[in-house]
Amino acid sequence: MPLDFEFTEEQNMFRDTARDFGKNEIEPLIEECEKEEEFPKELFPKLGEMGFLGIVFPEEYGGVGLDKVTDCIFAEEMGKINAGIAMCINAHTSLALFPTYKFGTEEQKQKYLVPGIAGQKIGALGLTEPNAGSDARSIRTQAVKEGNKYILNGTKTWITNGCMADFTVVAAYTDKSKKGEGISLFIVEKGFPGFKVSGKIHKLGHKAADTGELVFENCEVPEENLLVGEGGFERAMATLLGARITHAAKSVGMAQAAFEYALQYSKDREAFGRPISKFQAISFKLADMAVKIETARLMVYKAAWLYSQGKRCVKEASMAKLYAAEVVQWVAIEAVQILGGYGYGVEYPVERYYRDAKLASLTEGTSEIQHIIIARELGI
């Protein structure tokens, strides 16, 4: 089969629809969301109505039934609009809805997946803890079976959608003697006895993203809310595989936004009697930015295509995530440099791109973890 680097007509139409949605529904909200550090929850029903929350899920649950490539097209467009808002959407679909669909019972799917796709319920993933980030096997949250319910105790932190989520997929040990293999996954609803949000986390960037710390103190979870029994660690890693590809697409979108702004600025800004884009020092920066972004984009969509085909893509997903994270940080730095002093001012968006870009190397598995995974896949 010949190689084809073109999106289908349907995918191009989808991109246009996503772009229009971002411009009309999200862009007017950005300034206030960034200032108040709040995600506009009213977006979720609108996203659901447009089908953007169910791109990869079957029509029988209200989804659209498309592939990971289309999912990444949407993630890239959202990354261009606002990193924080894009992050919350990704966390909802890739980290909460995906494991519910992949591993949940039919009852769980009807209760959480269907309203999640419609934007009527917001989901989150509770994996990271104060003393367990990259080393997810070292989580301390535990769940003990008592009759027809589980009792959860522990703390989760840096949880995207944590403050506003209606339900959270929570990782906890049900058998501490089996490191990793003894982890189970639970669906914990807001309002369950013993579950509380202890506070919002304030961040350098991604200010529009809802990020919180969750505390479980003898939290009562009905046994029917057990999503995955022991062996939940591997299921969590399977969830992160797809999420890393989507996150890489978001990083490409962020980089593209920074590049486009710097490019236009360089054409408008004059120095020594001509646009600064005509100076080799600036034009070479822009050329390098374009090359790196296009390379990252190709890596993302290759990984997305492999994922959609059901092919093994652990190495490719980590490569795309790692490289896109490096590219968006570098491009954001260069965009600030091209704008000079204006790039350092809050009146111009490149300052926000610069702050937002750093998270790409930290979340969904740090860049160091991606190096470890790639090395392992190379047989090292």
**How far, rounded to the nearest angstrom, does the alpha carbon of residue 60 sit from its chain's CA centroid?**
25
CB 123 within 8 A of CB 165: yes
Q: Among 176, 187, 194, which Cα is nearest to 230's?
A: 176
The one catalytic residue in 38, 334, 351, 364 is: 364
> For residue 160, what is the enclosing H or E element?
strand 149-160
Amino acid found at 40 = P
Q: What are phi and psi of 333, to 5 degrees?
A: -60, -45
CB neighbours of residue 271 within 10 Å = 11
> 35 in helix, strand or coil?
helix
Q: What's the CA gap between 380 and 373, in Å, rounded?
A: 10
Question: Do β-strands 195-200 and 211-222 pair in parallel, antiparallel, or remain unpaired?
Answer: antiparallel
146 an active-site residue?
A: no
Q: Among 120, 35, 41, which Cα is nearest to 88's?
A: 41
CB 320 within 8 A of CB 296: yes
Catalytic residue annotation: 364
